[in-house]
Every structure is written in structure tokens, then in C-alpha cells.
Chain A
Amino acid sequence: MTVRVGVVVFPGSNCDRDTLRGLELAGAEAVPLWHEQADLGGVAAVVLPGGFAYGDYLRAGVIARFSPVMRAVSAFAAHGGLVLGICNGFQVLAEAGLVPGALLRNRGLRFVGRDVRIVAERLDTPFTSLVEAGRGMVMPIAHGEGCYFADGATLDELEREGKVLFRYVHEDGTAASADGDPANPNGSLRAIAGVLNARGNVAGLMPHPERAADALLGSDDGLPILRSLVEAAAKASGGTPAGVSGERRVPVAVGPG
């Protein structure tokens, strides 16, 4: 059985198709989940895609947070279900309190759409297990509010607990600085591009792995992130990624129902 991964579609989501396609390339059966549905249809993992949910009115992600599907996603996450938020999806997760911190207006005030380089700080997570150690991954960003913020104590705790999942880096792999460094496109504190929640089953990042999931698009550096998620979802649900052979693992109950 191919593992099913859901992609939430909010009014204003615009990366949902790319994300569905990226997850298929990563071996999943990818299904859209409409924002008004209060049930996740038994998927083994959920991805919140990029875009401008509800027009980004008030603050990016905040209105989406109160949609019926997000109540289901919160319950799913509370039961250990795997959730990945990309760009606007990361903003929704932060507004919902499912990952720590907030995404502020880019320090340069402008919307930035270009390639950036990130590294995964941990490779033992459901989102990075297939990422090559120490490898800088090039993928696009496209956002106006991606400046990662948390207070100093929270930042220290995130670093101490290994919850900084991705960081913006220079070409040589050294971490970007917070201010005035082109390698850090939005001024994120401590050059944080992505974080994990305390339990390690929810992650968000500003760059777009799904837009770098096929070499034809210029980079497939994002594919290992999606493949990691699909493999972890398969393990959790007892399914298998399509085209991936391997022993069936003991099913572990995840998510509601």
C-alpha cells in the first residue's frame, strides 16, 4: 500500500499542486485536503503548502489557523502525526503555536524570490533522515514575511535542544549572520530557516523543497526532505513509499482515528 500524504489547500494557497507533485516524486500518494474539512481522511502525514492563505490578511497565517482543517491538523500533531509547513505553511504553524517563534516582515522590507542555500542541522528527524550530511541544499524562497523571530531565551533553548532544523548558509557551508548578509535573505535571527517542535513531529521551513524536487527545475536538492517525510510517514502508518522495496514495519497508530 502506498503511503498517503495530505496537502492542505487554503483559499490563497498557490504551491499545493507543486507540493502534491513533489510528494508523488518522493513516492507518496498525495491527496489534497480542503480547508473546510474537519477530517484528514486517514493520511499518514500532512503538508501545509506555500501561498497566501486567506490573502495573508491581518498577519500571514493567522486566519488559516482558525480553519476547520487546522483543528484536525492540531489534533493530529498532538497525537504524534507528522506535519510539515513550507513557507506560508510555516507561518500558519507558527501562528497556531505548533512550532515555536514567529515570522516577521523581511528585514529588507521587500518580498524576496530567489535561490538560497540551507543546511540541515539534524539528520535524525522524520524530515531530514535522507538528507546528505553537511550538504548545502539550494532551493528557492519566495516570501515577504520570513524573518524568523523568537526571544533570546527561546533561541538559546532551540539551539540547546536541537530544534533548529535548517539554517541559511554561505556557499562554503558557514552559517549566515543575522543582519546585512545576503546569504540570510530575510534577516532571520541566528539565520534560522526552519525549526522543529519540542516533540520533533512538526517542522516548518521558509524555503521551498517542492520547487527544487526535479533536476529539470534547476535543483532537486529539496527532494530528500520530501522523501524523508514520505519514508517516515510510511513507517508510521505501515505503508511503503511507492517504488521503494523494504520490509513491512510494525504499524504504529498515529493521528486521530
Chain B
Amino acid sequence: MSEYRFAVNVAPKPGILDPQGRAVEGSLAHLGVTGVSGVRVGRRVELTVEAGSEAEARATVERLAGELFSNPLIEAFAVESLAGVVAATGAAG
């Protein structure tokens, strides 16, 4: 078994009202920044999964991302692999 590190990025789906993103966008003028639009605020979950292969680990992450980390009605997610294998656990071979 090995440990694999992933990140899941969750963001509001296109077209879903994102009042947080709108508020952030509204504040940009206070920083003297212009020309920025389309601000969407989501969340990022990082996790380590112990599995026999990266594909197996990724399948677990995809399931969690779809059932727990995001609400498919309103959010989309993307799974990102972080630094490949973090550590091999248990007996080698």
C-alpha cells in the first residue's frame, strides 16, 4: 500500500449566484485594481489516501468529492494529484 496526496478544488457551477465572489469583486476597486472580473469563491480540500495504486486512490477521492465535498446541484469539482506518492506504507514489495 502507498499513500497518495490529492487536492479537490470545489467551485460554484457557472451561472450559480456566488455572493461571496461578487462581494470580493466589489472590493477590488478599494485596492485600486481594475479590469478584474468573474471572481468565484470555492473551497479546496487536501487529503492523503492509502491505496494499492494511484488509480484506486483517485477513485476514492472522486467519490468523496462527488458525495461529500461538493453538492452536484450547485458545485463542480476538480481532482488534482499532489506530488505523487507521499509515502509507501507497510512491508515493501
Contact = CB atoms under 8 A, between A and B. Distances in A.
24 contacts: A58-B43, A58-B68, A58-B69, A59-B71, A62-B68, A62-B71, A66-B68, A95-B71, A101-B73, A102-B71, A102-B73, A102-B74, A104-B16, A106-B19, A107-B19, A109-B19, A109-B20, A109-B23, A147-B17, A149-B73, A149-B74, A150-B73, A151-B73, A187-B19
Nearest to A97: B73
Contacts of B23: 109
A104 B17 contact: yes
Interface residues of B, number: 11
A151 to B, nearest CB: 8
Interface string A8-33: 00000000000000000000000000
Contacts, number: 34
Nearest to A100: B73
A221 B42 CA distance: 38
Nearest to A179: B17
Contacts of B16: 104, 149
Nearest to B15: A151
Contacts of B20: 105, 109
Interface of B: 16-17, 19-20, 23, 43, 68-69, 71, 73-74
Interface in A94-153: 95, 101-102, 104-109, 147, 149-151
Contact of B19 (A66, A95, A108): A108
Contact of A105 (B19, B68, B69): B19
Contacts of A147: 17
A187 B17 CA distance: 10
